[in-house]
């Protein structure tokens, strides 16, 4: 059986950077905590816990003698202020692309624009960007229908959650253009997501089975799995090699593998090895 691994499967630049920073800090900085899980991979979070990096849900839970690592998605402005007030040592692993989105939202808010953020309201990255806009006039819209709810006739500023699809962003920008006197647009989309999705589409169309590896709580892995199953209905979303059911492979001549941006390399390797064993 032919096993084909997508070239971009696994960690994106921002996640790789955050994970390296966390392991380096664990080695050098003594006790460490992260505000929320560092990335959406329970296995990696567990491994970091083994290295002494504990996860806390709020600044209030921090003991005061720990170094704090900020995850790649970033945190809310109020949380950053609380950390600075408590003078806790910080390792800021916020992805530079997310930082840019926060900064542009801040600039727009400061200059009096109504800030529109294209993204998922509940996502921690979006909540962070909203907080950095420092304005009472902020709207999070998921699609063109949402953009129609933004009051018209004002100066509007637009940024995006980094993982948004460009087409959706563009369609929203076009809708807003007809609803204001001035529209200022910062394209803050990072292409890591689009690259993974395009490769997954191509791969899913050329194999008999598709495995998508990544946290069941990872939005980008779930999206990859949906994209693949629309093309190849025999797509399976797994978190680890132990979830592979040999029955899935019966009659397959080829299996494609991709993985979300927060899936560690060792988990991908274990999946490939398990497939090799099963098809010997
Ligand atoms: S997907 Fe892009 S913005 Fe998000 S962490 Fe990865 S590199 Fe950074």
Contact 68, 33 (CB under 8 A): yes
What CATH number has the domain bearing residue 147? 3.40.1010.20
What CATH number has the domain bearing residue 82? 3.40.50.11270
CA separation (Å) from 107 to 10, 101, 102, 145?
A: 33, 10, 9, 26
Residue 230 sits in which domain range? Answer: 2-9+192-278
Contact 214, 259 (CB under 8 A): yes
Mutate to test the pocket of ligand 1, among 11, 95, 98 (most ligand atoms within 8 A of CB): 95
Counting the structural domains of the chain, the total is 3
Judgement on whether residues 150 and 200 belong to the same structural domain of the protein: no
pLDDT of the residue at 214: 95
Residue ending a domain, choose from 131, 155, 189: 189
pLDDT of the residue at 113: 96
Residue 253's nearest CA partner among 209, 198, 214, 191 is 209
pLDDT of the residue at 218: 84
Judgement on whether residues 185 and 205 belong to the same structural domain of the protein: no
Residue ending a domain, choose from 94, 119, 139: 94
Mutate to test the pocket of ligand 1, among 163, 189, 224 (most ligand atoms within 8 A of CB): 163
- Pocket around ligand 1: residues whose beta carbon is below 6 Å from it? 12-15, 72, 95, 97-98, 162-163, 190, 192-193, 261
What's the CA gap between 157 and 111, in Å, rounded? 10
Largest CA distance in the chain: 66
Mean pLDDT by 10 residues, the chain (280 residues): 95 95 90 91 93 93 92 94 91 96 97 96 95 93 97 92 92 96 96 92 98 90 94 97 96 96 95 92
- The tokens for 58 are 């709020």
Q: Whose CA is nearest to atom 5 of ligand 1?
A: 14
> Which residues on adjacent β-strands are paired with residue 33?
54, 68
Residue ending a domain, choose from 73, 94, 115: 94
């Amino acid at each position: 059986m032919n096993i084909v691994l997508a070239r971009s499967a696994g960690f994106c630049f921002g996640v790789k950077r955050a994970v390296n920073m966390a392991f380096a800090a664990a080695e050098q900085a003594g006790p460490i905590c992260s505000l929320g899980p560092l990335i959406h991979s329970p296995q990696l979070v567990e491994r970091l816990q083994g290295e002494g990096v504990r996860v806390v849900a709020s600044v209030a839970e921090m003991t005061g003698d720990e170094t704090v690592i900020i995850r790649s998605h970033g945190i809310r402005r109020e949380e950053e202020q609380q950390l600075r007030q408590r003078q806790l040592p910080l390792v800021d692993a916020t992805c530079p692309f997310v930082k840019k989105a926060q900064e542009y939202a801040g600039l727009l808010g400061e200059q009096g624009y109504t800030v529109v953020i294209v993204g998922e309201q509940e996502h921690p990255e979006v909540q962070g960007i909203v907080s950095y806009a420092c304005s009472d006039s902020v709207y999070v819209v998921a699609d063109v229908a949402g953009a129609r709810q933004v009051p018209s006739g004002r100066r509007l500023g637009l940024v995006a959650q980094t993982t948004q699809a460009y087409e959706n962003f563009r369609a929203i920008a076009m809708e807003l253009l007809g609803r204001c006197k001035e529209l200022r647009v910062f394209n803050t989309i990072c292409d890591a997501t689009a690259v993974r999705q395009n490769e997954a589409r191509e791969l899913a169309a050329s194999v008999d089975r598709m495995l998508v590896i990544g946290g069941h709580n990872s939005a980008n892995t779930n999206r990859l799995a949906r994209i693949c199953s629309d093309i190849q209905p025999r797509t399976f979303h797994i978190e680890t090699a132990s979830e592979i059911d040999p029955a899935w492979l019966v009659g397959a001549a080829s299996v494609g593998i991709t993985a979300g941006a927060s899936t560690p390399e060792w988990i991908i390797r274990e999946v490939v090895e398990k497939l090799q064993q099963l098809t010997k």
